[in-house]
Structure 1
Amino acid sequence: MEMVRVVFLTVFMFFVLVTVHEWGHYYFAKRAGILVREFAIGFGPKLFSYKRGETQFTLRLLPFGGYARMAGEDPEMIEIGPGQTIAVRLGQDNKIKNIYLDSLDTRRNVIRGEAEFTDLENELKIRLNVDGEITTYDVNPQAMMIRGSQQTQIAPKDRQFGSKTVGQRAIAILAGPVMNFILAFVLFALHLQMAGIPVENPSYVKIGEVSEGMPAQEAGLKKGDIVVAVDGQTIGGDYKKMITLTSAAKGKEMNWTLKRGEETLSVTMIPRSMEGETGGKVGITPELPTRKAGVGETITKSSKAMVDTTDLIFVGFKQLINKFNMNDISGPVGTFQLTGQIAQQGIQYLTYWAAILSLYLGIFNLLPIPALDGSRLVFLGIEALRGKPVDPAREGMVHFVGFALLFLVMIAVTYNDILRLISG
C-alpha cells in the first residue's frame, strides 16, 4: 500500500507541475483571443481525451511534458482546392457551420457542390457551384471542417497566434514559466508552514528519524522521543553535545535517558562506525523544536528560498557546461526514482522537492534553446526590433530541429537512467 501511495504522489506531482505550466500558456492565449486547439499533458498516444468549448483536453502516454497547441502555429488546416466537390451544412443563421470533405453521399441535410472560391481566414466565405447555380455562403467563425471522424475547427485570421501583437504573443509564451515560478513560491511557503521555523535556544532535542538496523532502532528508540541525558550528562537543547558524546563512545556502551510522553526511559546502546563517517553512530536524526511561521516570515523566507535555489540551479548549469558528463544528467526515469525516494520521507519533503522542480522547469524553459519558450521569445524579440516577423518556415525549422535534438538527448539520458537503475 505504501508503494502505491508513493507512486501516486510522484505521478501527481509531475502532473501538477506540467499542468500549471501549460495552463499559463492556455489561459493567456485565450485571453488574447487565440484559438487553443489542444491542451495536452504528455506526448505520444492518447490515454484520455475530452472536449470542452473549443479545446480538446488530452492526457498522453509519455510523461515528458505537455503543450497548448494554438491555431496558426503549425500548418493544420486542409486546403479546399478550386473545383473540389464538398458538402456544407447551414446553421440557423444561414451561415455554414459544417464543411464535409469526404463520404458526401452519406451526409444528410447538406448542400453539395463544387467549390469555386474558399476563404476561411479573412472573408469567411465559400462560393459553390451547385448544378450550375453559383451561390456565395458566409462561414460561421467556429465552423467545423470534417473528414471522416476528424473534426477541425476553422481558424479565422484574428484567432491565429501570428495575428496577435508581439506583446500578446510574448505574454502567452512567458505565462508558462511564470506560472511555474508562482507555483514554486507557493510550495516553498507551504513547506515552511509545515516544517515551521527552528526555535532559537531550544530547551530539548527531539528524535526525528530512526535508521533501520542501527543501535537506536535495536534499543527501541522512536521518532518523537526527547533526549534528556547521555551517560549522565544533561543534553537540554544542545544536539551538538549529543553528537560529540556519541562519536567519542564508538564501541562502548552508553546509557541514554529519554522522555516519551509522560514516561521516562533508560536504554543502553553501543555506537558503531558507518562507512564514510568518523566516530560512533547510533542512527538517529535530531529534530529541533520549531514554531509556526508568520505571514511576513513566510513571504520573506519563501522569497529567499527562491533566490537561493535559483543560484544553485545556475551553478549546476555552469558546472554542466564546463565539465559535461552524461552521468551528471537525469532524465524522467532518474527524476521519477529520486522523487519516489523523497516521497517516502513524507509530504513535507516532497513539497519542498516539488518547489525546486517547479522553479527549475520555469528557468529551463526560458533558456534560448530551440523548441523551448525562451527560443520563441528570442524570435519575438527579433520581430520587435525588425518590425516584421522572421520567416515562419525558417523559425519552424529551427524549433523542429531543436525539438528533435532535445528528444534524442531525452532518449539518451533515459537509457542512461535505466542502466544506472539496473546496476543499482
Structure 2
Amino acid sequence: MTTIIDFIIVFVILVLVHEFGHYWFAKRSGILVREFSIGMGPKLVAWHKNNTTYTLRLLPLGGYVRMAGWQDEDDEIKPGTMLAIEVNGDGRVTRINTSNKTTLQGGIPVQVSRIDLVHELVVEGYANGDESELKTWPVDHDATIIEEDGTEVVLAPDDVQFQNAPIAKRLLVNFAGPMNNFILAILVFIGVALSAGVQVLDTNQIGTVQSGSPAAKAGLENGATITSIDGQAISQFADLQKVVGEDKDGPSLNVVAKQNGKTENLTITPTKEGLIGVTPPVDRSIGTAIKYGFTQFWSLTTRIFDVLKQLVTGQFSLNKLAGPVGIYTMTSQAASGGFQSLLFFLGYLSLNLGIMNLIPIPVLDGGKILLNLLEIIRRKPLSPEKEGIVTLIGAGLMVLLLIAVTINDIMRQF
C-alpha cells in the first residue's frame, strides 16, 4: 500500500509540474486552456475556475493541457442536433449542453439549424419543439459547453486558439513542459544535497565511523584525519578506499590518524569485503548543494543521452525503457532506500521525462517544437489536416511502444 501511495505522489508531481509549464505559458500567451487534466481516460473529478476545467482521470498514464485550437477536440455540432442552452438576462447563451448525463435546470431545448462557436458565436434553431419560428441567440465569448462525457469546458473562439498565437509564444509553450521538468530535477537534487549532504572526497578526513565496525573497534573516531596506512600517504578518501580494498581478507592495517589533537597509531582489520566502516565527510552548505544540483543534472543527462544513442545505433532493447509497470517497480525499490532515495528518484524521473518529451516524434513536445521550427523555415504552418495526420501517426507509434514496453516490464517481473 505504501508503494502505491509513493507511486501516485511521484506520478502526480511529475505530471503536475510538466503540464503546469504548458498551462502557465499558454495563459500568459493569451491561449485558452480549456482543460488541465491529471491522468487519462474516464473522468473522476472535475471543477471549473477562471475559464479552465481541472480534471482528475482514472488512468495514471500521464496528463494533458487541452488548449483551444487545431489539436483540440472538435466541438462541431451538426444541424438537427438536439441540445439545451442557458441564457442570461441579455439573451446571450452562457451554457450549452450536448450531454445526456447532465440536465440544465431552466435550460431551453433547441433543435439546431446552424451553429458557429468559433467565429460568429451564434446559435440558430427551433426552441421547445416549435418549428414554426427560427430563433437566433448570440453566444457569450466565455460561454461553456457540456460535452458528451459530461465535462464542461469553455468555448474556443478563434481569437484564443493556439495556432493564432505568435510562433515564438507557441514555441515557448511547447518547450515549457520539459523545461519545468528540468527545473524540478535541479531543485530536487539541490534538496537531496541539503538534506543528505554532498560527500567530500578530496580530503583525508573521514566523516563518521560506523558503530561496531573494525574502525570503531580499533578506536578511530568521527572526524579523524588519516595521514597514512601501512606507510602509504593518504591525501584523499579515494586513497583510503584503494589501500583498504587491496588488503581485504589480508593482514591488519597500521593506520596513522590525527584525532583529539594528537597522532595515534591504530591497528584495523578490514572485513572480508575490504571495508573498515568509515564514510567520507559531507558538506551541507547552500553553495555546495546548488553546485551539486547542476552537476548531477548534467551527469545524469549525459548518461541518458548515451542510452538514447545506443537505442538508435543498432543496440535497441526494450529493457532500456520502462513504462508505468517498470516505473512502479523502480519507485518501490527507491522507496525502500528511504525518503532521500525516493527524492533522488523523483529528480531522475523528472529529468528523464523532460528529455524523452523533447524527442522529435509527433505527439510529443519535441515533435511539436519540430513543427514550429518547420513553420519558421517555411514561413507558414502545416495545414490542420496534414498536422493531424502526422500527429495521429506519432500517437499510434507511441501507443504501440507503450504496449510493448509494458508487456516487457510485466515479463521481467517473472
Q: Per the shorter chain, which TM-score range? A: 0.7 to 0.9
Secondary structure, counterpart of 2:413 in structure 1: helix
Question: Which of 367, 388, 402 in structure 2 is aligned with 1:396?
Answer: 388
| Equivalent residue number for residue 43 of structure 1 | 40
Q: Is the counterpart of residue 9 in structure 1 residue 6 in structure 2?
A: yes
Return closer, same or farther for 1:256/1:8 CA change in 2, 3 Å cut-off. farther
After superposing the two structures, state which structure 1 stretch, 29-38 or 372-381, moved more: 29-38
Give the match for residue 379 of structure 2.
387
Unaligned runs of 5+ residues in structure 2 are 258-265
* Matched residue type, 1:196: V
Deviation, 1:79, is 1.1
Residue 144 of structure 1 corresponds to: 144
Aligned runs of 1:61-76 on 2, under 5 Å?
61-72=58-69, 73-76=71-74
Question: Structure 2 length as normaliser, TM-score?
Answer: 0.79
In the alignment, structure 1 residue 183 sits paired with structure 2 residue 180: no
- The amino acid of 1:415's aligned partner reads I
Note if 1:118 corresponds to 2:115: yes
**Matches for 1:105-254 after TM superposition, within 5 Å:** 109-112=106-109, 114-129=111-126, 131=130, 132-146=132-146, 150=150, 151-194=152-195, 195-196=197-198, 198=200, 200-207=202-209, 240-241=239-240, 244-245=243-244, 247-250=246-249
Question: Which residue is 1:29 aligned to?
Answer: 26
- Residue 24 of structure 1: CA displacement? 0.6
Letter of the 1:74 partner, please give it. D
- Describe the shift of the 1:242–1:376 C-alpha distance in structure 2 as closer, same or farther (beyond 3 A): closer
Residues 112 and 417 (structure 1), Cα distance of their counterparts in 2 relative to 1, 3 Å cut: closer
Distance 1:107 1:182, change over 3 A: closer
Aligned AA (1:35): L
Cα distance in 2, alignment partners of residues 246 and 197 from structure 1: 19
**1:285-320 Cα shifts (integer Å, max 9, x gaps):** x4211233243x444443333333322221121122
Q: Are positions 1:271 and 2:268 aligned together?
A: no
Aligned length: 396
Pair 1:267–1:59, CA change in 2 (3 A): farther
1:281 paired with 2:278, answer: no
Distance 1:108 1:412, change over 3 A: closer
Instruction: Tell me how far 1:55 sits from its aligned partner.
Output: 2.8
Correspondence for 2:17 among 4, 17, 20: 20
- 1:308 is matched with 299
1:19, distance to aligned residue in structure 2 (A): 1.1
* Cα distance change, pair 338–87 in 1 and its aligned pair in 2 (3 A): closer
Of 234-243 and 408-417, more deviation after overlay is shown by 234-243
Alpha-carbon distance between aligned partners in 2 of 1:42 and 1:243, rounded to the nearest angstrom: 49
| TM-score (structure 1 length as normaliser) | 0.77
- Pairing of 1:306-345 with structure 2 (within 5 A): 306-322=297-313, 323-345=315-337
**Residues 235 and 20 (structure 1), Cα distance of their counterparts in 2 relative to 1, 3 Å cut:** same
Matched, 1:420 2:412: yes
**Structure 1 residues 10 and 88, CA gap change in structure 2 (3 angstroms):** closer
The whole-number CA distance in structure 2 between the counterparts of 1:54 and 1:251 is 73
Task: Name the counterpart of 1:372.
Answer: 364
Q: Following TM superposition, by how much is the alpha carbon of 1:376 offset from its aligned partner in structure 2, in angstroms?
A: 0.9
Deviations along 1:317-359, whole A, 9 cap, x unmatched? 1122221122333333223322332332233333333223222
- Partner of 2:57, secondary structure, is strand
**Structure 1 residues without counterparts, runs of 5 or longer:** 259-265, 273-279
Partner of 1:94: 91
Q: What one-letter code is carried by the residue in structure 2 that aligns with 1:204?
A: I
Q: CA deviation at 1:241?
A: 3.9
C-alpha deviation, 1:129, in angstroms: 4.8
Counterpart in the other structure of 1:57: 54
In the TM superposition, what is the alpha-carbon distance from 1:282 to its structure 2 partner? Answer: 4.9
| Structure 1 SS opposite 2:274 | coil
- 1:287 alignment partner, SS class: coil
Deviation at 1:101, TM superposition (A): 4.9
Shift of the 154–364 alpha-carbon distance from structure 1 to 2, 3 Å rule, reads same
- Cα drift, residue 107 of structure 1: 6.5
Closer/same/farther in 2, CA of residues 373 and 343 from structure 1, 3 Å limit: same
Q: Displacement, 1:48?
A: 4.1
CA distance in 2 between counterparts of 1:7 and 1:234 reads 51
Q: CA deviation at 1:396?
A: 1.6
